Structure 1
């Protein structure tokens, strides 16, 4: 499989009992950030698992570009990856 064929996973719809995620407006806090994973851009909202300055966070973009961009608090890698998996499985929203 060519790397350009991979479009990213689709996030499951949120479950009725899904844990709410505290989203806040995205602010430029670091000179550079790295997107480690992302959902497919064919569905909105689009989610990205990001890292910058040794911390991790999840970013959510809704709407068409320019999109409304919000993000979670910045946290340690393990906590961010756990939240990422809960978002993808519909357990957090």
Structure 2
């Protein structure tokens, strides 16, 4: 089991069910991870029988959203697991050609959204 170091100083970590973060820069440097190091995941290749998520324009329903996990921003599409108001959703940000598009999944209970998040990381959802 592995935990992703949370963002923004939150004390919550996200169980990622054995998925491995991108550690190459640490492994190549030969140094150990330290508390507070930010690890980001790359999304696995899409599986043929994947679940198709419904992406909507952001609703701005909450004043404050806490990002509890995110994927690596070295690619043009970044995903974030967002938590607010007792619910959670996934935010997708696409960058390219000078434009930025932001979409969000439906809001769910945190535990349900976490399951969708894991499926997204594993290539079983998009």
Same fold (TM over 0.5): yes
Higher relative contact order (CA 8 A, sep 6+): 1
Match of 2:81 in 1: 49
**Alpha-carbon distance between aligned partners in 2 of 1:75 and 1:6, rounded to the nearest angstrom:** 26
* Aligned pairs for 1:74-93 within 5 A: 74-93=107-126
In the TM superposition, what is the alpha-carbon distance from 1:66 to its structure 2 partner? 5.2
- Gaps in structure 1 of 5+ consecutive residues: none
Q: Is the 8 A contact 1:38 1:49 kept in 2?
A: yes
What is the alpha-carbon root mean square deviation over aligned residues? 1.5
Moved over 4 A (4+): none
**Alpha-carbon distance between aligned partners in 1 of 2:123 and 2:38, rounded to the nearest angstrom:** 21
**Alpha-carbon distance between aligned partners in 1 of 2:74 and 2:121, rounded to the nearest angstrom:** 15
In the TM superposition, what is the alpha-carbon distance from 1:43 to its structure 2 partner? 1.4
TM-score (norm 1): 0.90
TM-score (norm 2): 0.68
Compare CA radii of gyration and give the structure with the larger one: 2
Matched residue SS, 1:25: coil
Give the paired residue count: 92
